[in-house]
Amino acid sequence: MEILIYGIINSVQLVLMALGFTLVYGVSRLPNFAHGALYVLAGYMTWLLVNRVGLNYPLSMAVALVLTGLIGAAMYHFILVRVRGMAISEIIASYAIGLAIIEGLRWGGLKGGTFTLPSFVEGSVSLLGVSVDYQRLIVVVAGLILVALLWLFVSGTKLGLGLKGMAQDEQAAMTLGIDSDRMAVVSMAIGSVLAGVAALVLLPLGSIVVEAGYRVLIMAVAVCVVGGLGSWNGAILAAFIIGFAQILTERYLGAHYQIVVALLAIIITLVMRPSGLFGRQKELEERV
Which parts of this chain interact with other proteins (CB under 8 A)? 31, 79, 82-83, 87-89, 91-93, 95-104, 106-108, 218, 221, 225, 229, 254, 256-257, 259-260, 263-264, 266-267, 270-271, 274, 281, 286-288
Judged by CB, which is closer to other proteins: 160, or 274?
274
Q: Which residues pair with 116 in a beta bridge?
A: 207
Judged by CB, which is closer to other proteins: 31, or 162?
31
- Among candidate residues 280, 260, 243, 251, the one with its CA nearest the CA of residue 17: 243
- Among candidate residues 170, 188, 189, the one with its CA nearest the CA of residue 180: 170
User: Residue 122 Cβ, how far from other proteins at the closest point, in Å?
Assistant: 34
User: Residue 115 Cβ, how far from other proteins at the closest point, in Å?
Assistant: 16
User: Residue 52 Cβ, how far from other proteins at the closest point, in Å?
Assistant: 21
User: Residue 116 Cβ, how far from other proteins at the closest point, in Å?
Assistant: 22
Backbone angles phi, psi at 287, to 5 degrees: -90, -35
Which stretches does DSSP call E strand in the chain?
124-127, 130-133
Cα dihedral value 89, 93, 94, 98, nearest 10: 150
Judged by CB, which is closer to other proteins: 58, or 254?
254
Judged by CB, which is closer to other proteins: 135, or 192?
192
User: Residue 100 Cβ, how far from other proteins at the closest point, in Å?
Assistant: 4
User: Residue 64 Cβ, how far from other proteins at the closest point, in Å?
Assistant: 21
| CA-based radius of gyration for the chain | 19
Judged by CB, which is closer to other proteins: 50, or 225?
225
Count the Cβ atoms, other than its own, within 10 Å of residue 108: 8
Backbone angles phi, psi at 230, to 5 degrees: 90, -5
Amino acid at 179: D
User: Residue 123 Cβ, how far from other proteins at the closest point, in Å?
Assistant: 34
Judged by CB, which is closer to other proteins: 146, or 241?
241
Which distant-in-sequence residues (6+ apart) come within 8 Å of 215 by Cβ? 36, 259
- Among candidate residues 224, 182, 217, the one with its CA nearest the CA of residue 38: 217
Judged by CB, which is closer to other proteins: 126, or 281?
281
Can you tell me whether residue 228 is helix, strand or coil?
Answer: coil
